Chains A and B, each alone.
Chain A
Amino acid sequence: SSELTQDPAVSVALGQTVRITCQGDSLRSYYASWYQQKPGQAPVVVIYGKNNRPSGIPDRFSGSSSGNTASLTITGAQAEDEADYYCNSRDSSGNHRIFGGGTKLTVL
C-alpha cells in the first residue's frame, strides 16, 4: 500500500473541470509535485510546490493543498489530458520520497 493515496480512476467530460487528489500525513509538512504520464512515455511534471507550473505546461493545470490533501485541478479538460497522474512527496517519516498509486484520468 502507498502512504500517498490517490483515487485509481477519475473521469471528466470534455471541457469540464476535474480535481485529482492525493492524501497522506506527510502532506501536512511537505508539498507534492504532480506528474502526467501517457502510455509508453516517461512522466512529465505538471505542478510542483504550492502551485507552480513548469514552462510549457498549460495554465489549465493548477495545484492546491489543504491539511493532508494535495490536489491537481484541470480546468477545461482536453482530450490530450487523458493520462495517468501521480503525486510525489515524502513518506510519513519524512525521510524518503514516495509516489502515490496514480490516478487514471479519462476524458469523455
Chain B
Amino acid sequence: QVQLQQWGAGLLKPSETLSLTCAVYGGSFSAYYWTWNWIRQPPGKGLEWIGEINHRGSTDYNPSLKSRVTISLDTSKNQFSLKLNSVTAADTAVYYCARLREVEATFIYYYYMDVWGKGTTVTVS
C-alpha cells in the first residue's frame, strides 16, 4: 500500500520561500506511468493544480504560478519537493502531494491521482 508523507514549514512571512517535501513509502518511485503532483486548496475554496514532475525529472507548472514554482525529484530518497518563492497571504492554503497514474487501454490514455498525502497547512502572515 503506497503512502505519501509530506512535511514542511507551516508558518511563513510574506516574501519568504515555501518549501515542502513528499516522501513515497511502500512502492516504486520511478515507474514511467507515475507523475508526482502538488495541489493546493485555499481556505474555503477549491483545488488548484500547482505542477508536476515525472520520473525523468521533466516538469510542468500552472502558468499562473510558473515564475515562482520549482518542483524537484530525489530518486535516492524516494522524495519530491515543492518550492514557492516570494509568498504572500494569497498563498495561504492546504498543500497536497499526489501521485498521478497513467493507464493505457487500447491506445487510449487515462490519468488520475490515485494516492494523496494528508495535506500540510501553510499560513503566510
Please state if A49 and B47 are interface contacts (CB–CB under 8 Å): no
Size band of the B side of the interface? 20 to 34
Does any Cβ of B come within 8 Å of A33's Cβ?
A: yes
CB pair A101–B49 under 8 Å, yes or no, is: no
- Interface of chain B, main secondary structure: strand
Chain B residues lying within 8 Å of A45, measured Cβ to Cβ, are 112-114
Q: Are A102 and B47 in contact (CB under 8 A)?
A: yes
Size of chain A's interface in residues, with CB distance under 8 A? 25
A54 proximal to B (CB < 8 A):
yes
B63 to chain A, nearest CB (A): 7
Rank and list the top 8 A-B pairs by shortest CB-CB distance, nearest first. A49-B110, A48-B112, A33-B112, A42-B116, A102-B46, A99-B47, A97-B49, A45-B112
Residues of chain A lying within 8 A (CB to CB) of residue B96: 42-43
A66: interface (CB < 8 Å): no
From the candidates B60, B105, B113, B116, name the one contacting A88 in the complex (CB within 8 A): B113
Q: How far does the alpha carbon of A102 sit from the alpha carbon of B113 in the complex, in Å?
A: 16
| Residues in A22-45 with C-beta less than 8 Å from chain B | 31, 33, 35, 37, 42-45
